[in-house]
Amino acid sequence: MTWLEQICAVHERSERAAVIGEGNSVTGRELIGKTVTAADLLVDLDVQAGQPIPGLLTTNADALALLFGGAAANRPLAPFGPRQTI
């Protein structure tokens, strides 16, 4: 079982908070739902499998879902932080 499959197995039915942010939290089930949506979005970008996709990410549930979705769709994210410059 891959690490991503393990994360899904633990969180796909969980109503416990998986990500706690400023003023809100996301349950495990919601995180997995966001991950599936992110994977579909990344596949729809028509980027070849295995090609990294640069992304400006912060520390929140959506960013985590994008990272997991990229791994699931074999379109890994190359994250940049909001303070990084090109």
39 neighbors 72 (Cβ within 8 angstroms)? yes
**Who wins on pLDDT, 34 or 12?**
34
Over its C-alpha atoms, the chain yields an Rg (Å, rounded) of 13
pLDDT in tens, 16-56: 998 898 888 999 999 999 999 999 999 999 889 999 999 88
Tokens read off for 44? 């729809």
| Single-letter code of the amino acid located at 22 | E
**Is the full-model pTM beyond 0.85?**
no
Q: Which long-range contacts does 6-12 make (Cβ < 8 Å, 24+ apart)?
A: 7/68, 8/32, 8/35
Which residues is 21 bridged to in the sheet?
Answer: 24
pLDDT band (50, 70, 90) for residue 86:
low
